Structure 1
Amino acid sequence: MNPNELRASIPALEEVVYLNTGASAPLPRPVAEAVQSCVTEQGYRAPTEEGMYTYAFEVYDEARRAAAGLLGADESEVALTQSTTDGINRIACASEWEAGDVIVTTDVEHSAGELPWRRLADLHGVEVRIVETDRGRLDPDDVADVVDEDVRLVSLSATEWAYGCRLPVEAVTELAHDVGARVLVDAVQAVGARPVDVESWGADFVAAAGHKWLLGPWGAGFLYVREGAEDWLTPRQIGYRSVEDANTADYEYKPGAQRLEVATTNPAPYAGLVEAIERAQADGVDVRMERIAALTGYLKSRIPDEKLLSPPSFHSGLVTVEVDDPEGTVECLDEQGVKVRVIPSIDCVRVSVHAFNTRADLDRFVEGAGLTA
């Protein structure tokens, strides 16, 4: 990977110091061009040749293959979604729930991994058990204390969004499976930032999207459903992409994850997703991670220990910092052309460090925020 070439491919970096990839990434030119090319191909050329639907389905297929390769999954285990939240909701809404069922989650989940369970509690009387963390650090023993035979689902992030901690997915999955529960992982802060292997995780469902660390466009999400785990799901939505043959009197859902797809969606974001994944794999996701680790290490070395809320050791490119006035600090940095964000749930500033960033970018943040080591 050539960090300078990656940086040069992102026009927004000519204008600002961008340290907010954990929210949404600036697009590289080749990814934007892939989106634009798809629109013109489908709208201009495909109507005169194979047809617009045929072209779109080719893009969908390519996107599933790319996402499967990224995750270490089979193509049949991947459904295309619009976002991580969309993917999580598809699992929540396709499962049978009764009063007394239990869902276990953590206190540092994004609203994507928290609101669907609150809604199930309101609708069906499901109990939601929340495991407390120590500033994002999750002890599997604390999960074990609340996981019993009433638990049907455990939901957690691979990398939680508030402090940037990696959560022990493998250990939690083993605990859940021991009592017959399923596991859903929000992986949007992991894909593209570090290698992900869903087989080693053992989770039943993994939801993610391309618009953060993969440097992809909005509107292109993907959902992993482990082979056989689809039997746990009864989809509430149906369309021609969900079934084997929409033209028969008796419909039959597709056997794998694709039963959770419904109907016509814009193929252009998925064309951008394919380009983003291919670029990440060409760079080497592990190589990108090594650079992110080196840069976050440098940033943490410049932040006073009492101000650093994220772990001193490397977990992710998310670095959370305590400041006196988070909103004011973000506004002040914005005026200086430095983009970061507030995490309102813990009233702090979060910096997202990607492989395209530089030490000079991080110096701009430290100096603009008034931090000294």
Structure 2
Amino acid sequence: MLDFAAITAATPGLADGKVFLDSAGSSLPPRIVTDTVIAHLRREADIGGYRAANERFDDLAAVKTSIATLIGATPDTIALSDSATRSWADFAYSVPLRPGDRVLISGADYASNAIAALQRAAATGAVVERIPSDDTGRLDTAALANMLDERVRLVSLQHAPTNGGLVNPVAEATRIAKQAGAIVLLDACQSIGQLPIDVIELGVDALSATGRKWLRGPRGTGFLYVRNELAHTMEPARLDLHSATWTGPTDYRLADGAQRFEFWECDVAARLGLGAAVDYLLELGPDEAYAAVAAGAEYLREAMADLTGVTVRDLGTEHSGIVSFTVDGHDPDQLRDRLAEHAVTVTVSRATSALLDMTERALPAILRASPHYFVSRSDLDRFVATLATLTQR
């Protein structure tokens, strides 16, 4: 069982009675994360960035080991980056495409992924097509099976979208796509740190993730997992002296494994902070943390269902820790700001972030509450009571 008092004490951002419900945006880091980042920045100020990084060489390598432990992988399949978006794009732009090739995305896909896929298709003559959703809003695996042929090169799957509590059937969709020989890239930006992820069980070829959300790491951190057998066949769209070795005037050799997707220059302090965040979750007990997130979100959905004029907008049959909602007669931005005046933090998700899904549902914007395991039931009750006071006069 999670030690809630210890977790709260280790989270400075919870001081002064704040109710923080935006871990789907950028969560509150535990003290060990900020202490790790600040300590390294101070060390850089004392002796310079190169020496400071050399002192932490083994610790930087251990970040990959920790991530690999969390997702059931090996360290050589992990490439560190500055964001989930960077990781997703670095992999997607490295998948060879030719005229007539097909890239499949889902209705839940994030704007950055869709834009990158469209740009890549326009440059290569490939086409981007949408996988239909079923009547619950989940990715329709039967429709996916019917769409597949030898021209499908890449299937983009969204584990949990940015704009609601939907969880897609990743393992089943991956199995179907792989039978047709397609490469499967999973966006785990909203699922890493709040949902169980085992890349072997899921079967995906690659996975992109961020540090700043449910992992409670620093901004400017992320990682890419690439299945080892596939990594050795791929050449990233961009290289440097870390991702490859200059072996002669006109020759170079790619690095082994996922390292070929990394660049040498990086924010060392932030990466050490990411490692501290992953280690904190591993020590806490990932399964207990995941269960606490799920229980908190479900408690909130049930409580909000009783509020007049409030509509919970989450799709699917299995839910993540994101609770999306609208309130009749209230502008989402204005309501977010009024809640902030009462020390309650939520955020707004717009159609520009999840265009296909939100346009189809005629939702220009929704409010998003995302309680992490450090949010108590009394915090959730306070949020619901505050929301009721602000909207039901």
TM-score class, shorter-chain normalisation, is over 0.9
State the 1:354 CA deviation: 0.5
Distance in 2, matches of 1:102 and 1:131, equals 12
The answer as to 2:373 corresponding to 1:355 is: yes
Partner of 1:334: 340
Q: 1:198 to 1:144 in 2, by over 3 A?
A: same
Partner of 2:130: 130
Q: List aligned pairs for 1:255-334, cutoff 5 A.
A: 255-304=256-305, 307-311=311-315, 315-324=319-328, 325=330, 326-334=332-340
The 8 Å contact of residues 60 and 80 in structure 1, kept in 2 or not, is answered as no
Q: 1:313 to 1:181 in 2, by over 3 A?
A: closer
Distance in 1, matches of 2:242 and 2:252, equals 12
Distance in 1, matches of 2:202 and 2:386, equals 39
The answer as to 2:350 corresponding to 1:344 is: yes
State the 1:111 CA deviation: 1.9
Q: 1:314 to 1:337 in 2, by over 3 A?
A: farther
The answer as to 2:189 corresponding to 1:183 is: no
Distance in 1, matches of 2:223 and 2:320, equals 21
C-alpha deviations, 1:166-208, integer Å up to 9, x for none? Answer: 1111111111111110000011211111221101011000000
C-alpha deviations, 1:112-132, integer Å up to 9, x for none? Answer: 322210211222222111123
C-alpha deviations, 1:208-233, integer Å up to 9, x for none? Answer: 01110011101121100001112442
The 8 Å contact of residues 83 and 220 in structure 1, kept in 2 or not, is answered as yes
The amino acid of 2:320's aligned partner reads S
Partner of 1:11: 12
Distance in 2, matches of 1:114 and 1:7, equals 38
Q: 1:72 to 1:13 in 2, by over 3 A?
A: same
| Secondary structure, counterpart of 2:108 in structure 1 | coil
Partner of 1:40: 42
The amino acid of 2:333's aligned partner reads E
State the 1:67 CA deviation: 1.2
Q: List aligned pairs for 1:1-373, cutoff 5 A.
A: 1-15=2-16, 16-44=18-46, 51-55=51-55, 57-133=57-133, 134=135, 136-243=137-244, 245-246=245-246, 249=249, 250-304=251-305, 307-311=311-315, 315-324=319-328, 325=330, 326-345=332-351, 346=363, 347-370=365-388
The amino acid of 1:92's aligned partner reads A
Distance in 1, matches of 2:316 and 2:141, equals 20
The amino acid of 2:290's aligned partner reads M
The amino acid of 1:25's aligned partner reads S
Structure 2: segments with no counterpart, 5+ residues = 352-362
Bigger shift: 306-315 or 218-227? 306-315
C-alpha deviations, 1:134-163, integer Å up to 9, x for none? Answer: 564222112223222211000011122222
The amino acid of 1:95's aligned partner reads V
Distance in 1, matches of 2:166 and 2:316, equals 10
Bigger shift: 130-139 or 346-355? 130-139
State the 1:21 CA deviation: 0.5
The 8 Å contact of residues 158 and 185 in structure 1, kept in 2 or not, is answered as yes
The 8 Å contact of residues 296 and 314 in structure 1, kept in 2 or not, is answered as no
The 8 Å contact of residues 296 and 319 in structure 1, kept in 2 or not, is answered as yes
State the 1:43 CA deviation: 4.3
Using the size of structure 1 for normalisation, the TM-score is: 0.92
Distance in 2, matches of 1:28 and 1:239, equals 34
| Secondary structure, counterpart of 1:80 in structure 2 | strand
Distance in 1, matches of 2:219 and 2:42, equals 18
State the 1:365 CA deviation: 2.2
Bigger shift: 113-122 or 99-108? 113-122
| Secondary structure, counterpart of 2:339 in structure 1 | helix
Number of aligned residue pairs: 369
Percent identity for Structure 1 against Structure 2: 31
| Secondary structure, counterpart of 1:145 in structure 2 | helix
The amino acid of 1:317's aligned partner reads G
Partner of 2:354: none
C-alpha deviations, 1:221-258, integer Å up to 9, x for none? Answer: 11000011124422222212112x44655321012000
Distance in 2, matches of 1:322 and 1:145, equals 35
Structure 1: segments with no counterpart, 5+ residues = none
Using the size of structure 2 for normalisation, the TM-score is: 0.88
The 8 Å contact of residues 135 and 309 in structure 1, kept in 2 or not, is answered as no
| Secondary structure, counterpart of 1:175 in structure 2 | helix
State the 1:53 CA deviation: 4.9
The amino acid of 1:329's aligned partner reads L
C-alpha deviations, 1:60-105, integer Å up to 9, x for none? Answer: 3121111111111111101111100000110122222222111111
The amino acid of 1:357's aligned partner reads V
Distance in 2, matches of 1:323 and 1:122, equals 39
Q: 1:328 to 1:53 in 2, by over 3 A?
A: closer
Bigger shift: 143-152 or 133-142? 133-142
